[in-house]
Structure 1
Amino acid sequence: MEGFLYQATIYLAAAVIAVPIAARLGLGSVLGYLAAGIVIGPVLGLVGHETHDLQHFAEFGVVMMLFLIGLELEPRALWDMRHRLLGLGGLQVVITMLAVMTGFVALGYAWQVALAVGMIMALSSTAIVLQTLSEKGLIQTAGGRSAFSVLLTQDIAVIPMLAFLPLLALPTLGLEANPDGSLNRTAMEADAAHSLSLVEGLPGWGVTLVTLGAVAAVILTGIYLTAPVFRFIHAAKLREMYTALALGIVVGIAFLMNLVGLSPALGTFLAGVVLANSEFRHELESDIEPFKGLLLGLFFITVGAGIDFGVLVKAPVMILGLTAALVLLKGAILYMIGRAFKLRRRRLMLFTLSLAQAGEFGFVLLSFSRQQNVIPPVLAERLLLVIALSMLITPLLFLLYDWLSKKMGDPAAEAAEADEIEDQGPVLIAGVGRFGQIVNRLAQSSGVKTVVLDNNLRTIEVMRRFGFKGYFGDPTRPDILRAAGLEKARVLVAAMDAPAMVTQLVHYARKQRPDLHIIARAHDRRHVYELYQAGADDIVRETFDSSLRAGRYVLENSGFSDYEASKLEQAFFHHDRQAIRELAELWEPDVAADKNPEYVKRAKELERDLEASLQAILSENDDAVA
């Protein structure tokens, strides 16, 4: 017990000291965790071999992180990503795997060993990349979404890789020389012990059926069983039971995925996607988030603490050279693929630099390769260090991205580089400033899917930091409107700050879609007339409702009752709407309103009608009181 408390104290103290310092220096929390692990491990020797065992437990942070990411994705959004998953992700995995394999064959290794190393090095660090993207508010950018697509493809690719690796085993590997010169096969304890499995010993078709059954069980449980269980827990009125249930869902799904030989991270991600539309989504997020953060931090510390600098000292040139070659090779491949998929400038730099390392699933594949006698022990030790060092370099690559991003100038000036729009929905909102954001929040909170466009990159970035998805681009450009789903949308909200842009958008949208319902933001009365002629259905003056409410407060504090003030406010609102429609028919764009006799005459008549209408309401109220 004392040993456990000592180790826990060391890990927690290292994190508490190193991470705030790294964050204060602008280096990010991941680099702080890695540095803390290096200090308490290789430098001071405060922790030892138990870090490898602890790492398997800490990997649950990755599992929880993918569960939370799944909760943010609706099934439709995942389907919309299919081209990136198969294109960006598939190409990255295959090309990197073949390139690394070619390099190791050139170094003299058997093709089986080279192919296994290629599989291991094709993977990137889901934990470090997604954590850093989230901290920097970059996960919803075009580069961030592309990186996420590749990471998700890599996690899926782990499954066939694990199935294929045993086929690469060489009979001469795993043999060690005895003192007398004879050879003796060494069996690892992991080979001797049989773990729990639902598919062990089954024929191929049986494994397939059991695997599909497990996936179906996860989906059906998420759809039909989660809500009744949450309601049952709610009846207990104990906050900790929600946390226990949330952890039980994640742990249970991870265990089930292990039983059928699938990736626990992939299984929990699938469960998160299934529960994305659940009424308990936010409850699950709040319960899992603290555990995810602590376990991820612990995982990064164990990576730093597990670096064996003794192996580095024995062959520094080879290991550092392999690490540099891996980062440069993956970076070059990612750069070419990114350009092929039309990523440019910041987006391309972010995509290239964020994924140019090996990942935590590489540890899993490397360990499995050793057990299956695919990779020699000496090479495995060196590759383990290469993976750890490349992960350690990743925060520095993000710092390089920050520096390059600043050198590229003002992000807002890149108007031509609009985001690639992946979503479509029934409501398209153009402009999400102080006006459009309220419309968007009300619609989304009511369960209405919206697609948000804005030509101010900083506005979009602020939205993303608060968890709202939006796309950077000019809402008046026809190609962007088509990509956002103008042809299928039911409602268009034109809410930009610039009146001319709003009028231009309304005119174009009405021409393209006569059946589309258009709601437009008007700057003033003149702008209302322009929008009316352009074809808007509902026109909202940006200060009208607030001014009307202020007028009601004036009446309430001038001797009128709350009821009278409310009736007068409603009468004024309805009269003004009707008056605007009538005057819009008489308004001429090239003639000032006071120079248009018919317009002036009708405006005076309508004003007298308004006074008469309000006085009639007050008289009716007096009669009712009498």
Structure 2
Amino acid sequence: MQEQHAFPFLREILLFLILSGILIPLLQRLRINQVVGFLAVGALVGPFGLGLLADGVPWLAFLTFPRGEGISMLAEVGVLFLMFMIGLELSAARLWAMRRWVFGAGTAQVVASAALIGGALLLLGMETRSAVILGLVLSLSSTAVVMQLLAQQQATGTPLGQAAFAILMAQDLAVVPILLLIGALGGGTGNAHDSVAMLALVTMAKAIGAIALIYLVGGKVVHRLFRSFAEHRQPDVFMALILLSTFGIAALCAQAGLSMALGALIAGLLLAETEFKHEVELMVEPFKGLLMGLFFMTVGMNIDTRLVLEAPLLLGALVFGLVLLKALVVTLLLRIGGQSWVRAFEGGLLLGQGGEFAFVAIGAAMASQVLEPALGARVMLVVGLSLFITPVLAKIGHALGERHETRTRELVASGDQSELASARGRIIIAGFGRVGQQLAKLLGEQHIPFVAFECDAKLVSKLHAEGKPVYFGNASRPELLRHVHAGEAPAIVLTMDHPASALQAVRGIRREFPHVPLFVRSRDEKHARALRLAGASVVVPETLEASLQLSAFVLEAMGLDERQVDAIVDHERAVVTARLLEPEAKA
């Protein structure tokens, strides 16, 4: 008993670390989503799982979390770091780069989903205040689950992955006003004669003022602290500053009557705007999986699985309704944004679940007496179940998307076979982006025949319908090039944007067609040297030609003769070209 007072909740901390040490590598090996795994284990070893048997089976007390006190302490730490990491992701530069999706589609998704969910709850007889809060909270999806699934599918860089990430960023931004609204509505129950809406507005105004003060003053203090201590370059000092910023600003928010979770989010936002952002991310990265696991395991422990047995059909209908409503909203928005119907539906299934922030917000709402504990417990269970089924839904959506794209490629390719067979003696353009299209325009004006290949099936369908000789396919494949008689082509031009793909294509083409002139676009001089060594006849670095043209305009503006400028530019081009041949000469 004495030891318990000396180090409170030591057993709970040790048990969590043991479970994490076993779970994290096991889930990675089995390729099971970590969030779902931690939720399941938390539900299993928590007070509503095996913890219920701990009184009758004493040894189970050492392997479970039968008491709520230790869980709540762990949960608080998990929530703070989860919110800190969300804030760290929301840099102004990142938001501005994706502003159309973040502030357009993302905002529309939150508003439309909140309106539909809140409206449905009102129709079911829920009071307005609870319906508004739950509508907003349930409109958010799980950043942790979705980003992990996209990474597993290697889809984070695809148009759908980028759109999904932008919508998640907009949802993360919505966290601040939702937390403020919960605090305001929680404070609006004291005076029966005052309007709840007016009290909510006053409370929110005070909260916004406090946040602005913390943000402005805290930003200057945090930046100066990091700048002064960063000179020492000591990792332990840097980690201490991260912890100080997180817990210090969380404590300031608590003193101002705001949520500590909101304070941790603000700490992340402050550091995201400094030059130390990437260093902070590197310091937090080793603990990221552990801290996320801590949060989701404690969430699983708070899910009362007995409620499933009480009303399984009702819970199933609520989970289905939540996912269906959100999936429909996301599907329509992605379709409007330019995705195909199948890819848009894939995105809808991916973002249809409730989010991890729901557990934070519902806990705050129950503490503020905005939600009744029984209702809050049921909503948490609905969100938890929606997280469990998300990997399955995402797998179905991804399979449908891949199948649709494969079918589109086959249709485009099958319609092109007869036309391609007659493509003799034409220049072959591989890659029909902006560079390829400009080249094709110039060739067309000079009545020089060409044939082009592009991997974007949607772009190919559009251009082919316009009568352009553009076909679907990867020009690095020898069988495709043989089909268009590449050995008889006057030249092959590679305008691919991806450096590795271009290098692979040059090697393949040169191996199959050693005598065909091969003109290649490169990113820079380093990439150009690699392409030359692989067998490219002529390599044009993007940076070289842009800088030479700009230099020519400047020299002419300074009064130099046009012929003199041409001589200078040609000489510089020759010098760079000779430099590109140096590795080959040495070899």
The alignment partner of 1:301 has SS state of helix
The alignment partner of 2:371 has SS state of coil
Is the CA contact 2:362–2:376 (under 8 Å) kept in the aligned structure 1?
yes
CA distance in 2, matches of 1:116, 1:13: 37
Quick one: which amino acid aligns to residue 271 of structure 1?
L
After superposition, where does 1:370-389 map in structure 2 within 5 Å?
Answer: 370-389=366-385
Is the CA contact 2:355–2:383 (under 8 Å) kept in the aligned structure 1?
yes
Quick one: which amino acid aligns to residue 342 of structure 1?
G
After superposition, where does 1:120-135 map in structure 2 within 5 Å?
Answer: 120-134=137-151
CA distance in 2, matches of 1:136, 1:79: 26
| Cα 1:43/1:207, change in 2 over 3 Å | closer
Counterpart in the other structure of 1:61: 81
Is the CA contact 2:327–2:345 (under 8 Å) kept in the aligned structure 1?
no
Counterpart in the other structure of 2:215: 215
Of the candidates 112, 116, 133, which is equivalent to residue 129 of structure 2? Answer: 112
> How far has the Cα of 1:103 moved from its partner?
1.3
Q: Does 1:547 align with 2:552?
A: no
> How far has the Cα of 1:135 moved from its partner?
5.6
Counterpart in the other structure of 2:414: none
The alignment partner of 1:268 has SS state of helix
Counterpart in the other structure of 1:29: 34
Is the CA contact 1:247–1:288 (under 8 Å) kept in the aligned structure 2?
no
Q: Does 1:348 align with 2:344?
A: yes
The alignment partner of 2:44 has SS state of helix
The alignment partner of 1:386 has SS state of helix
The alignment partner of 1:109 has SS state of coil
Is the CA contact 2:331–2:344 (under 8 Å) kept in the aligned structure 1?
yes
Counterpart in the other structure of 1:468: none
Q: Does 1:47 align with 2:53?
A: no
Of the candidates 69, 76, 83, which is equivalent to residue 100 of structure 2? Answer: 83
CA distance in 1, matches of 2:188, 2:543: 72
Of the candidates 286, 289, 309, which is equivalent to residue 285 of structure 2? Answer: 289
Q: Deviations over 1:74-107 (max 9, x none)?
A: x434322332221121101100011012211222
Of the candidates 304, 321, 325, which is equivalent to residue 321 of structure 2? Answer: 325
Quick one: which amino acid aligns to residue 29 of structure 1?
Q
Q: Deviations over 1:413-438 (max 9, x none)?
A: 445479xxxxxxxxxxxxxxxxxxxx
> How far has the Cα of 1:538 moved from its partner?
7.7
> How far has the Cα of 1:385 moved from its partner?
0.9
Q: Does 1:365 align with 2:364?
A: no
CA distance in 1, matches of 2:332, 2:39: 30
> How far has the Cα of 1:383 moved from its partner?
1.0
Counterpart in the other structure of 1:307: 303
RMSD: 4.4
Is the CA contact 1:156–1:266 (under 8 Å) kept in the aligned structure 2?
no
Q: Deviations over 1:386-417 (max 9, x none)?
A: 11211222333333344345434569944547
Q: Deviations over 1:470-492 (max 9, x none)?
A: xxxxxxxxxxxxxxxxxxxxx99
CA distance in 1, matches of 2:105, 2:543: 36
Q: Does 1:156 align with 2:163?
A: no
Is the CA contact 2:65–2:71 (under 8 Å) kept in the aligned structure 1?
yes
CA distance in 1, matches of 2:284, 2:176: 25
Is the CA contact 2:246–2:263 (under 8 Å) kept in the aligned structure 1?
no
Q: Deviations over 1:513-558 (max 9, x none)?
A: 89799xxxxxxxxxxxxxx99x9798547961313444xxxxxxxx
CA distance in 2, matches of 1:492, 1:83: 34
TM value normalised by structure 1: 0.59
Of the candidates 10, 14, 30, which is equivalent to residue 15 of structure 2? Answer: 10
The alignment partner of 1:59 has SS state of helix
> How far has the Cα of 1:306 moved from its partner?
2.4
> How far has the Cα of 1:282 moved from its partner?
4.5
Which of the pair has the greater relative contact order for Cα pairs under 8 Å at 6+ separation? Answer: 1
CA distance in 1, matches of 2:342, 2:96: 26
| Cα 1:121/1:502, change in 2 over 3 Å | farther
Q: May I ask how many residue pairs the two structures share in their alignment?
A: 437
CA distance in 2, matches of 1:336, 1:500: 48
CA distance in 2, matches of 1:417, 1:254: 50
CA distance in 1, matches of 2:459, 2:139: 29
Counterpart in the other structure of 1:100: 117
> How far has the Cα of 1:346 moved from its partner?
7.9
| Cα 1:549/1:291, change in 2 over 3 Å | same
CA distance in 2, matches of 1:308, 1:221: 43
Is the CA contact 2:33–2:149 (under 8 Å) kept in the aligned structure 1?
yes
> How far has the Cα of 1:356 moved from its partner?
1.3
| Cα 1:308/1:130, change in 2 over 3 Å | same
Is the CA contact 2:184–2:204 (under 8 Å) kept in the aligned structure 1?
no
CA distance in 2, matches of 1:155, 1:167: 19
CA distance in 2, matches of 1:12, 1:514: 61
Where does the alignment leave 5 or more consecutive residues of structure 1 unmatched? 174-199, 419-452, 461-490, 518-531, 551-626
**Percent sequence identity over aligned pairs:** 28
> How far has the Cα of 1:126 moved from its partner?
2.8
CA distance in 2, matches of 1:331, 1:136: 19
> How far has the Cα of 1:35 moved from its partner?
2.9
Is the CA contact 1:62–1:126 (under 8 Å) kept in the aligned structure 2?
no
Q: Deviations over 1:267-287 (max 9, x none)?
A: 134223212xx2x55542332
CA distance in 1, matches of 2:287, 2:390: 23
Counterpart in the other structure of 2:394: 398
Q: Deviations over 1:209-240 (max 9, x none)?
A: 44322212243345544212222x44xxx542
| Cα 1:514/1:547, change in 2 over 3 Å | closer
CA distance in 1, matches of 2:238, 2:580: 44
Counterpart in the other structure of 1:583: none
> How far has the Cα of 1:160 moved from its partner?
2.4
After superposition, where does 1:496-515 map in structure 2 within 5 Å?
Answer: none
> How far has the Cα of 1:309 moved from its partner?
1.1
Is the CA contact 1:15–1:32 (under 8 Å) kept in the aligned structure 2?
no
* Of 92-101 and 80-89, the range deviating more from structure 2: 80-89
Is the CA contact 2:44–2:50 (under 8 Å) kept in the aligned structure 1?
yes
CA distance in 2, matches of 1:286, 1:388: 30
| Cα 1:225/1:52, change in 2 over 3 Å | closer
CA distance in 1, matches of 2:292, 2:225: 29
Is the CA contact 1:30–1:395 (under 8 Å) kept in the aligned structure 2?
no
Quick one: which amino acid aligns to residue 545 of structure 1?
E
| Cα 1:502/1:226, change in 2 over 3 Å | same
Where does the alignment leave 5 or more consecutive residues of structure 2 unmatched? 52-63, 191-199, 410-453, 461-494, 503-523, 555-568
Q: Deviations over 1:4-28 (max 9, x none)?
A: 3432343233333344333223223
Is the CA contact 1:144–1:350 (under 8 Å) kept in the aligned structure 2?
no
Q: Which has the larger radius of gyration?
A: 1
Q: Deviations over 1:456-514 (max 9, x none)?
A: 59969xxxxxxxxxxxxxxxxxxxxxxxxxxxxxx999969696997798999799989
* Of 347-356 and 154-163, the range deviating more from structure 2: 347-356
Higher helix share: 2
CA distance in 1, matches of 2:458, 2:21: 44
Is the CA contact 1:354–1:398 (under 8 Å) kept in the aligned structure 2?
yes
Is the CA contact 2:327–2:352 (under 8 Å) kept in the aligned structure 1?
yes
| Cα 1:408/1:509, change in 2 over 3 Å | farther
